[in-house]
Amino acid sequence: MSSESAPQATQIPLEDAEQAAASFGSLRPGNPVLRSALRLLRGERIESIQPLHNTLKDPNPKRWRERIAAAWTLGRAPLGPEESDAAAGILMNVLENEFRERSLTKLVRWTVRTALSAFLISYLGVMTLYGVAEPHWLDELAVVFSVIGIGALPLALPLQSIFEKGRNDRVRAAAARALGHRGHVESVGPLSGCLFDSSLLVRQASAESLHDLLPRLRDEDFGILGADSVSKLGRALTDSDGSLVVKSLDALEKVGTSHAIPHVERLLKDTRSTLTRDRAQRVLDVLISRKRREAEGKDLLRAVVTPPDPTLSSAPPKAPPNPRSSSSFGPLATTSIELAIAESGLRDQA
């Protein structure tokens, strides 16, 4: 990339730097994510975004702070068009939880961790009571502590799952905020879908980014959102934030398709706000008009592409050739017939 087209680094506001300070403190010196983040904070361009990509693709729960720092850096780094698209793509994958550990790997880790803890508790308990209990009690105590440790296994597994999910949700929330800073309107669909996520952190971060991204949509962006993204944006109309509902309606008026019609109709049925009802009716008229034009375009295309039916031709069918007609024979056959007639006449004269 030439120096003329290279994006210029910008100074990061203090409020944004404070958000990532906790994550930076857990990174060791020399970490590529930490190095990229520090260069960004100093107003310098980062050398490469590949270390940030690799960190975000790793679902290891031990690296959750490093992944948060990578998402923060990737969301605010000045990048070229191609790198910016790649950054937005990986952030959307993180938000939608595309990078996950295999279930078997997690189950083995949780089981081993719980079994070791149970063994340690049993050993420490027996050794602690060794001086106060009679020797024949030690075996019974060991059995008791072992049973307690093994019995805690069904409870420990879901607790560990909840604990690690909470850390992963923090990473997803950081990715949602980073998408808002990147300003890619293509991320409206994934962010709208995460408004109904099970994690409160993810829902709040997605709403914050949508408040920034939805006003950036323009009429010329029509067609940039696919059917799934438009449908998810339509679901945002059921959110409890009235301001976000209004922004979603304005966005659907600009880039919405027929896939959002059921959601707008549901809003018209459920809302009690006159202002919201008027907006929704206007958007619904626009969407229905677009749906009608889409149907007319499909009919016109079908008429052009479909070949004509030969059975519907108005021209009368040609009659099959008469096998007795001399015209049905070739020139050699006609000459042979004439010679045969001539020879017959000569025999009659003789």
Tens-digit pLDDT profile for residues 284-330: 999 999 999 888 776 666 666 655 555 555 555 555 555 444 444 44
Classify residue 37: in a domain, yes or no: no
Predicted pLDDT at 201: 95
Instruction: Find out whether 228 and 269 touch, Cβ atoms under 8 Å.
Output: no
Q: Say how far apart CA 223 and CA 254 lie, in whole Å.
A: 10
Sign of CA dihedral 40, 42, 48, 50: negative
Residue 207 reports pLDDT greater than 80: yes
Among 16-30, 183-197, 320-334, which is the least confidently predicted range?
Answer: 320-334
Question: Is 249 domain-assigned?
Answer: yes
Q: How many CB atoms lie within 10 A of CB 242?
A: 12
User: In the structure, what pLDDT confidence band is assigned to residue 163 with cuts at 50, 70 and 90?
Assistant: confident
pLDDT on residue 288? 94
| 228 domain residue, yes or no | yes
Contact by Cβ (8 Å): 171, 57:
no
As given in the structure block, the two tokens for residue 233 are 């944006």
Least confident of 42-51, 59-68, 304-313, 326-335: 326-335
CA separation, residue 330 to residues 166, 244, 324 (Å): 91, 85, 13
Helix or strand run (H / E) with residue 184? none
Tokens of 159: 């607790």
pLDDT at residue number 40: 87
Question: Would you say residue 85 lies in a domain?
Answer: no
Domain count, the chain: 1
pLDDT in tens, 101-149: 777 777 777 777 777 766 666 666 666 656 555 555 656 666 666 666 6
134 lies in some domain: no
Q: Is residue 250 situated within a structural domain?
A: yes
Q: How confident is the model at residue 47 (pLDDT cuts 50, 70, 90)?
A: confident
State the greatest distance between any 2 C-alpha atoms of the chain, in Å, as a whole number: 153
Tokens read off for 56: 């975000």
For 283, the domain range is 220-304
Residue at 234 is within a domain: yes
CB neighbour list of residue 125: distance below 8 Å, 6 or more residues apart = 141, 145
Integer CA distances (angstroms), 175 to 34, 83, 143, in order: 17, 16, 48
Give a yes or no: residue 59 inside a domain.
Answer: no
pLDDT higher than 60, residue 257:
yes
